[in-house]
Amino acid sequence: MTLARKPLVSTPEAQADWREWRVADWSGLSDPGARSFEVGEGDWPFRGFVLRWQDALRAYANVCPHRSHPLDTPVDEFFSADGALLRCGSHGALFVPESGECLIGPCAGRRLLALPSRIEGDAVFVKAPADLQTAIELVGSS
Ligand code: FES
């Protein structure tokens, strides 16, 4: 599949107060596979998900550009029936795994917020804000 657009990423300035969090074990992710996580504190902790896709790591905010719902309804089910795209369970939007771009659905053309991520040993680390509102505002500008 061709990447239509680059992932939506925030600026280094916007990430200045983001923290790096350990969110998963690489060996615990199938390929393809995805797992949701929550980090931070308070009433609205940040929610995201890590994705193993063609043996590469990606991470996104778990915030649909349509209505800011989590994509995985039910929990940790992120893929379309054929496993080729990410799917939002709320209203069926379909996203390209590599770029987070919505191809089909009520937010077509908009993008998931990509998060810096890395693997160290078997640990998966993601850099993210500690609150959900930051992600919703960034996705709102996608
Ligand atoms: S909230 Fe995701 S498609 Fe509507």
The gap between the terminal CA atoms of the chain, to the nearest Å, is 21
pLDDT tens by residue, the chain, 142 residues: 444 577 888 888 888 889 999 999 999 999 999 999 999 988 899 999 999 999 999 999 999 999 999 999 999 999 999 999 999 999 999 999 999 999 999 999 999 999 999 999 999 999 999 888 888 888 875 6
User: Atom 1 of ligand 1 has which residue's CA nearest to it?
Assistant: 67
8 part of a folded domain: no
Q: Is 93 in the pocket of ligand 1 (CB under 6 A)?
A: yes
Domain range for 74: 19-140
**62 in any annotated domain:** yes
CA gap 21, 38 in Å, rounded? 10
Q: Evaluate whether 8 touches 111 at the Cβ level (below 8 Å).
A: yes
Does the Cβ of 63 fall within 6 Å of ligand 1?
no
In a domain, residue 13? The reply is no
- Cα dist from 108 to 4, 59, 62, 93, 103, whole Å: 12, 20, 17, 8, 5
Q: What is the number of structural domains in the chain?
A: 1
pLDDT at res. 2: 47
- Strand-pairing partners, residue 108, are none
Residue whose CA is at the smallest distance from ligand 1 atom 4: 91
Q: Collapse the DSSP code of 138 into the 3-class scheme (helix H, G, I; strand E, B; otherwise coil) and give the result.
A: helix
Q: What is the CATH number of the domain that holds 56?
A: 2.102.10.10
